[in-house]
Amino acid sequence: MMFHEPSQWEGTSSDPNDEQFGHVVETTDLDAASDYDAVFVGEPYDGAVIGRKGARDGPQAIRNALTGVKTHHYDEGAVANVADLGDVAVDQITGGVADVQSEVADAAAQVYERGAFPVFLGGDNSLSVANVTPLLADDVSVGVISFDAHLDCREPQDGPSSGTPYHQLFDAGLDTLAVVGARHFETSTVYADFLGEQGGTILTAEEVGRDPEEAADFALDAVASCDVVYVSLDVDVLDETAAPGVSAPTPGGISTRELYSMLRRVASDSRVAGFEVVECAPSLDTSDRTSGAAARAVAHFLSGVEQ
């Protein structure tokens, strides 16, 4: 699977002391991907969205917002040694959602095989299947921590969609799933029961609000038996006031501050093999609020990754 050549990153500040992501993110290719602590991989696709489309433009919107974000974290210092592989050439894939998942999984596998740490910029939630599948192996147990308002455990009766990824992944051999920030009245009893039957864990937005650090630790405990952990962020986990530009914005979500502290906590676990941000739809956004929140989520996650 081919990658489109990435664009050059440029900072937005004229102050030479204002180091921004636009100043430090380099462009790279697969052969050199493992030279960096993390590499961005764009996945511009929203053909599987159940609700409102627009996430295909998410990768570039997140990049644009991240360009002007400063690299310094008060506790961890500056984020550095990050590169951009460009976008997976989804526009060259023919066929339906299942074909896209399969082709993009091949591209993700190439990144993992190089020993690189991918940060996938989506794109819709259906591509979680593509991003996690290459990690599944008979002798490796894999768990996912998903920051999401929804469980995404629908049965793919009429084919895959943005609501089916974890049903598909459990069928493919996923060991467990912890959903953090789930909202009441945003899923059906059948799907909540399904996740319970798989041994999964649900932490509601209310539980996060009581103690975000404890919620993050509980999620890590839920995947304690796994050899590999993958982290997924669906931006709709945020309250609609913080992230209006998503397929299904709703009230009652978590705050950006809560999200960022939890992302840093889970990113510090040495078993984490990859991270994704999905369902950022700039055409549905208000004043670039959602892409800005998503970009800073990436920054906070990277600040927590073990170097």
pLDDT of residue 138: 85
pLDDT of residue 2: 87
pLDDT tens-digit readout, 231-261: 999 999 999 999 999 999 999 999 999 999 9
In whole angstroms, what separates CA 182 from the centre of its chain? 16
Cβ-contact 234, 275 below 8 angstroms: no
Higher-pLDDT residue of 51, 37: 37
The owner of tokens 């609000």 is 209
Q: What string of DSSP letters covers the chain?
A: --EEPPPPP--S---TT--BHHHHPEE--GGGGGGSSEEEEEE---TT-SS---GGGHHHHHHHHHHTSB-EETTTEE---EEEEEEE-GGG--S-HHHHHHHHHHHHHHHHHTT--EEEEES-GGGHHHHHGGG-BTTB-EEEEEE-SS------BTB--TT-HHHHHHHHT--EEEEEEEPTTSS-HHHHHHHHHTT-EEEEHHHHHH-HHHHHHHHHHHTTT-SEEEEEEEGGGB-TTT--SSSS--SS-B-HHHHHHHHHHHHTSTTEEEEEEE---GGG-STTHHHHHHHHHHHHHHHHS--
> CA 133 to CA 249: how far, in whole Å?
28
Residue 31: both structure tokens together: 């052969």
Residue-averaged pLDDT of the chain: 96
Residue 36: both structure tokens together: 């960096």
Q: Vertex 11, ends 55 and 289: CA angle to 5°?
A: 35
Closest CA to 260 of 225, 293, 307: 293
Confidence of residue 137 (pLDDT cuts 50, 70, 90): confident
pLDDT of residue 3: 93
Cβ-contact 287, 293 below 8 angstroms: no
Task: Give mean pLDDT, residues 23-45.
Answer: 97
The owner of tokens 């969609």 is 161
pLDDT of residue 295: 98
pLDDT tens-digit readout, 97-126: 999 999 999 999 999 999 999 999 999 999
pLDDT of residue 307: 66
81: left (phi > 0), else alpha (psi -120 to 50), else beta? left
Buried b (16+ CB within 10 A) or exposed e, 245-258: bbbbbeebbbbbeb
Radius of gyration from C-alpha coordinates of the chain: 18
pLDDT tens-digit readout, 173-210: 999 999 999 999 999 999 999 999 999 999 999 999 99
Q: What is the pTM of this model?
A: 0.97
| Residue percentage of the chain with pLDDT more than 90 | 95
Confidence of residue 157 (pLDDT cuts 50, 70, 90): confident
Cβ-contact 251, 239 below 8 angstroms: yes
| Residue percentage of the chain with pLDDT more than 70 | 99
Task: Give mean pLDDT, residues 148-171.
Answer: 96
Confidence of residue 158 (pLDDT cuts 50, 70, 90): confident
Task: Give mean pLDDT, residues 144-161.
Answer: 95
pLDDT of residue 1: 61
Residue 287: is it exposed, middle or buried by C-beta count within 10 angstroms (0-12/13-18/19+)? exposed
pLDDT of residue 262: 98
Domains annotated on the chain, with CATH: 3-304 (3.40.800.10)
Closest CA to 29 of 111, 112, 85: 85
Higher-pLDDT residue of 138, 150: 150
